[in-house]
Amino acid sequence: MNDLGARARRASRQLANAPTEQKNNALQAAAKSVRASVNAILEANAKDVAKGEQDGMSKAFLDRLTLDNDRIEAIASGLDAIVALADPVGGVMASWDRPNGLNIERVRTPLGVIGVIYESRPNVTADAGALCLKAGNASILRGGSDSYHSSRAIHACLVSGLQAAGLPVDSIQVVPTTDRAAVGEMLKGLGGNVDVIVPRGGKGLVGRVQSEARVPVFSHLEGICHLYVDKAADLEKAKAIVVNAKMRRTGICGSAETLLIDRAVAETSGKAVLRALSDAGCAIRGTEEIIALLPAATLANEEDWSTEYLDTIISAKMVDGVAEAIDHIATYGSSHTESIITEDLEVATQFLNEVDSAIVMHNASTQFADGGEFGMGAEIGIATGRMHARGPVGLEQLTSFKYRVHGTGQIRP
């Protein structure tokens, strides 16, 4: 495994100075190879699916695992989309002159080697490998053992793209074993050869990575996203946003899990919003006050306030204005995404400033918490830590920087 790391490090040195065109050529050739290898990928995937069925995996699991022509085309067009994104490497982030005539530039550089640990979705192999490559980073990918054959088949296409473009084949490596100990070694950093780990998967995987990793991690453990309906909320906006934030897709990290209602408008906006949710098919777990407004609601317990349902369920309670909403979020939130619905700009500003989450929103659905929706093109995940990357982790967040100092013979007095 440490040899894998050393090879990635060597490849990363070459990649760091690869021109944009060469990286794009590799991605385009990889997309072409994916399209030409549909049958081989489907065959490899069939092996994984058969094993999953044998092992009695759930229907949802098998759905995430199964590839078809459309999904394979989506993988190829995902690669094309990354070609279209601007290359962050070499971009000048700031430039300034000093009184002594020195010009100082802060310029983007790759991070180095990125380890990605994921579960059953085989498309992550292409998405993650390609994003890392475009930002000039080598990657070491460790997919779930359940998608081993599918990942290897997709990886073969990436390698053929690298070869076609004359880039080192070690730029994107997959861990050549399904041994669980390999994950442990990656988390230790492969002898200093992994700069950051990105886990993509459920709470079990992310929790293990967060507690065991000896290298930095970009991740979120869960998205307990809050909606706060303020007394100055516009009712139509409130209903639309609350229903969308909870119900559009319940399985994503940006879906809302807790609804906070300003007690001042309990009987009006509060009741209407709860009804709209209930009518949309959402189960509500609330306090006594909530049940008084919507008898269909059931009583929430303490655990509900820190539960990520990822389902058609929401927890709900009343608060006395924005300050209590902010306190509730500080106590129970996961620092992911929260939204306030109000027409009062002052209250909105307080919420946006004081809530310490990666993403804070005003009059918008929390389901916009997504790199694509932010205009970043593609993301490798969402980070809730405060170091280096926060929020959607796109190409820019996969870079570091250095200082270039331009002199004309300056010496320090």
Shortest separation between residue 243's beta carbon and a copy of itself, angstroms: 8
DSSP state of 295: T
> 400 φ, ψ to 5°?
-115, -155
Shortest separation between residue 45's beta carbon and a copy of itself, angstroms: 30
Shortest separation between residue 379's beta carbon and a copy of itself, angstroms: 13
For a copy of itself, the closer CB: 34 or 261: 261
Query: Beta strands 225-229 and 298-299: pairing type?
Result: unpaired
Query: Tokens standing for 401?
Result: 């920087």
DSSP-derived secondary structure for 190-210: TTTT--EEEEES-HHHHHHHH
Query: Tokens standing for 399?
Result: 């870079």
The vertex-97 CA angle with 92 and 98, nearest 5°, equals 135
The vertex-277 CA angle with 276 and 278, nearest 5°, equals 95
CA of residue 369 relative to chain centroid, distance: 9
99 CB-near residues (< 8 Å, 6+ apart) = none
For a copy of itself, the closer CB: 150 or 357: 357
Q: Shortest CA distance to 276 belongs to which of 230, 318, 239?
A: 239
Shortest separation between residue 170's beta carbon and a copy of itself, angstroms: 17
For a copy of itself, the closer CB: 43 or 97: 97
Shortest separation between residue 125's beta carbon and a copy of itself, angstroms: 25
Residues 121/380, Cβ–Cβ less than 8 Å: no
Shortest separation between residue 176's beta carbon and a copy of itself, angstroms: 27
> Which amino acid would we find at residue 271?
K
Task: Tell me the C-alpha to C-alpha distance, in Å, between residue 237 and each of 210, 226, 230, 364.
Answer: 37, 16, 12, 9
Q: Shortest CA distance to 220 belongs to which of 201, 233, 195, 196?
A: 201
Query: Tokens standing for 90?
Result: 């070499």
For a copy of itself, the closer CB: 62 or 252: 252
Shortest separation between residue 242's beta carbon and a copy of itself, angstroms: 10
Shortest separation between residue 13's beta carbon and a copy of itself, angstroms: 7
For a copy of itself, the closer CB: 42 or 132: 132
For a copy of itself, the closer CB: 54 or 211: 211
Binding site residues, a copy of itself, CB under 8 A: 13, 16-17, 90, 96, 98, 102, 104, 109, 111-112, 195-196, 214, 216, 234, 236-237, 240-241, 244-245, 248, 330, 339, 352-354, 356-365, 367-368, 373-375, 386-388, 390-391, 400-412
For a copy of itself, the closer CB: 66 or 385: 385
Q: CB-hemisphere CA count at 13 Å for 10?
A: 9
For a copy of itself, the closer CB: 19 or 176: 19
> 391 φ, ψ to 5°?
80, -155
